[in-house]
Amino acid sequence: MDKVFVQGMKFYGYHGAFPEENRLGQRFYADVTLELDTRPAGKSDDLEQTVNYAKVYEAAKEVLEGEPVKLVETLTDRLAHLLLDRFSVIEACVVKVTKPDPPIPGHYDHVAVEIRRERD
């Protein structure tokens, strides 16, 4: 299967297990790898035969700047399912959501959750 990468998408959301995260918000990053057959688009040079990167960004924005949740796992799962629901050409996707500078004791650069989901 071919792969399309959309990396380093940046958002500001109000997700987290602590009240201050929900009140102050923080940055979140998303990286997606989309598995699909790119041959039809490659032959036709037609955007309708593949995934529009701008629409992938819009889907990520909808989730990561949307309704607050407690867990990065929830954000990651929601984005994966939204991509599969919204783009029929995607057969599977790998979604990684990163939360830089989490408010937990110790020195952390970031935490991240990465999942792979396939079309049923």
H or E stretch including 54? helix 53-64
Residue 41 CA to residue 67 CA, distance in Å, equals 34
Q: Contact, 114 vs 96, CB < 8 A?
A: yes
Helix 72-86 vs helix 53-64: crossing angle, to nearest 10 = 140
Query: Is 96 an active-site residue?
Result: no
Q: Among residues 10, 43, 55, 99, which one is catalytic? A: 99
Show Cβ contacts of residue 80 under 8 Å, excluding neighbours closer than 6 positions. 93, 95, 115, 116, 117
Place of tokens 């979140």: 28
Active site residues: 99
